[in-house]
Chains A and B, each alone.
Chain A
């Protein structure tokens, strides 16, 4: 009776390694979060609970400015990328193969294939010469760069949604006297909406997280939260960094959880 049943799926040691893996993934992040509440200056010695680093971070003007810039860029870039990706998805799904289709796919996916550092350097060169020529050093460069690399991320869920959508629905709308625009407004768009929201959220998170390209493209004095943090990491770090990171992580996790929940509910 005591004999354990033989499980076909079991592999010796796999569960242990997997659990170690999960601990390894979460332990550093959790430690980082915990120490954001440390009363002391050290990120290793616990000296009691306090909100002081959060207060300090909130009062830090540089943090405020960079966080604001991050949100501004992520919002604009995510919205633009999602609109562009939606249009491109409409042009590239459920059509007979046409000349240029593969080229469009390749173009949309380049940001996924090209190493970030290479794109960053390329943008540095290109935008540097434009900055010299025009004298303009605003956030348009960052917005353009972010929009570009967000497009494939927004494109993926939208395209997936379109492909799983019944193509005869639009034909049925046309059959029932809907002009192409009205068929889009009344049928395609409402059905595509969950995909568009998912794309928007992915694009937003991706833009918010970017370090490398922003670091190379930004003009002097322009810092997003990640580039600000990258600069700070060179110095002695205080739990203020932990506090900023914790808030940042919270936002990302929330958006991703929402995305996960939304895409799951559909199936």
Chain B
């Protein structure tokens, strides 16, 4: 205290206050970064850093024995959409890749639409339950979400296999006399993804429906709207943020799905995730795998960006 006394006599209080504040600020900043450091370092080593390496790899030359040659090349990116004909050296669209891209987008969209068709009434059902039982219904939706994805996929497989429940039942009743082939089809993949990602649609939908002001619904009926009109003109517009959030939350993991198409699609029905894996396995084309990964990442980022833009605009429109 004596020191500060002389300080204030010498330099005037002006400087010491500002200095103390600055020193305090510096300490705060240091503490914050020290506290964040372990998380940031872990993420840098095991998430963000490796992603950058993937980006680098996508610009390298492939080593046919696996791995890469450290030589700059844009071949991989080229190969994502185009391929050079072995015979006449002309450029063609890489049909194999594009069809898998297309299938992934198609199946993901299909899954999203199905999830919306099933999820919307379910979320609405939960949101309109009495306070006491609502928690229980919500819990029932959450449970599958936190249980192992592989096990859930396995469960679906057991249902739709040729020797599975559905076929056995139909055979036993005598409706069919040969099992219906459901495994290893696009249908199987879509069912599987619907099954595993459905809670991701229901939860955000529920969150926005829970906030729904039912006096507005009453107002709708008061103004002669039928049930369907109230649904279309009042409820759906009001819960639109939930619809968008749920759709994005289902679409993104569907697009990058790996386990479900691997188990239910077998080797036949590939999706983007399996195509990527293939490049690191049998394909031995790491740069192409890297470029495909980056492409998938870009699509996801664009979807997220659209989502952020949409929701922030929505927020603005409401004031």
Give me the interface of A with B, judged by CB distance under 8 Å. 6, 8-15, 17-22, 24-29, 31-32, 35, 42-45, 80-81, 83-85, 87-88, 90-92, 95, 98, 100, 104, 107-108, 110-111, 113-126, 128, 144-145, 147-149, 151, 155, 205, 208-209, 211-212, 216, 226, 229-230, 233, 237, 241-242, 245, 248-249, 252-253, 255-257, 260, 264
- Tell me which of A90, A95, A121, A155 contacts B276 (CB under 8 A): A121
On whether the beta carbons of A209 and B139 are closer than 8 Å, the reply is no
Residue from B158, B214, B258 within 8 A of A8 (CB atoms): B214
Q: Is B286 part of the binding interface, using a Cβ–Cβ cutoff of 8 Å?
A: yes
B2 within 8 A of partner (CB): no
A46 → chain B, closest Cβ, in Å? 10
- In angstroms, Cα B277 to Cα A229, docked, is 19
Residue from the list A14, A22, A149, A233 in contact with B157, Cβ < 8 A = A233
List 7 A-B pairs, minimum CB-CB distance, nearest first: A115-B256, A18-B125, A122-B50, A148-B46, A28-B155, A91-B35, A14-B121
B175 located at the interface, meaning its Cβ lies under 8 Å from any Cβ of chain A in the complex? no
Contact B147 A122 (CB under 8 A): no
Closest to B25 in A: A98
CB of B304, distance to nearest CB on chain A (Å): 6
Which residues does chain B contribute within 8 Å of A205, judged by CB atoms? 146
Kindly report which residue of chain A lies nearest to residue B264, judged by CB atoms.
A233
A-B contact pairs, 7 of them (CB 8 A): A11-B121, A104-B40, A115-B300, A121-B54, A124-B280, A245-B151, A256-B147
User: Does more than half of chain A's interface fall in helix, strand or loop, or is it mixed?
Assistant: helix
Find A14's partner among B40, B125, B154, B290 (CB 8 Å cutoff).
B125
Is the beta-carbon distance between A116 and B258 smaller than 8 angstroms? yes
Of B36, B124, B218, the residue contacting A91 (CB under 8 A) is B36
Q: A91–B28 Cα gap in the complex (Å)?
A: 9
CA of A98 to CA of B31, assembled, Å: 13
Q: Tell whether, in the assembled complex, residue B158 and residue A35 are in contact, meaning their CB atoms are under 8 Å apart.
A: yes
Contacting residue for B31 out of A18, A81, A91, A122, CB 8 A: A91
A32 vs B290: C-alpha distance when bound (angstroms)? 37
For B273, give its contact among A10, A29, A117, A242 (CB under 8 Å).
A117
Q: Is the CB of A87 within 8 A of B36?
A: yes
Known: A25-B144, A144-B42. A211 touches B50 (CB 8 A): no
Give A89 Cβ to nearest chain B Cβ, in Å: 9
Evaluate contact between B50 and A126: CB separation under 8 angstroms: yes
Residues of chain B in range 266-295 having any CB-CB distance to chain A below 8 Å? 272-273, 276-277, 280, 286, 289-290, 293-294
Asked if B33 is an interface residue, CB under 8 A from chain A, the answer is yes
Whether B48 pairs with A107 at a CB distance below 8 angstroms is: yes
- CB of B32 within 8 Å of the partner chain: yes
Whole-angstrom distance between the alpha carbons of A241 and B54 in the complex? 35
B293 lies within 8 A of A122 (CB): yes
Within 8 A of A (CB), among B234-287: 252-253, 255-256, 258-259, 262-263, 272-273, 276-277, 280, 286
**B39 and A84 within 8 A (CB):** yes
A148 touches B42 (CB 8 A): yes
> Any chain A CB within 8 A of the CB of B51?
yes
B255 touches A107 (CB 8 A): no
Q: Is B98 an interface residue (CB 8 A)?
A: no
Known contacts A42-B163, A87-B35, A117-B276, A122 near B256 by CB under 8 Å = no
Residue B156 interfacial (CB < 8 Å): yes
Which chain A residues border B125 with CB–CB below 8 Å?
A: 14-15, 17-19
With beta carbons under 8 angstroms apart, the residue of B142, B148, B286 that contacts A248 is B148
Q: Is B80 an interface residue, CB under 8 A from the partner?
A: no
Q: Which among B29, B39, B142 has the highest number of chain A CB atoms within 10 Å?
A: B39
B17 contacts across to A, CB distance below 8 A? none
In the assembly, what is the distance between CA of A48 and CA of B125, in Å?
Answer: 38
A76 to B212, CA, bound (A): 42
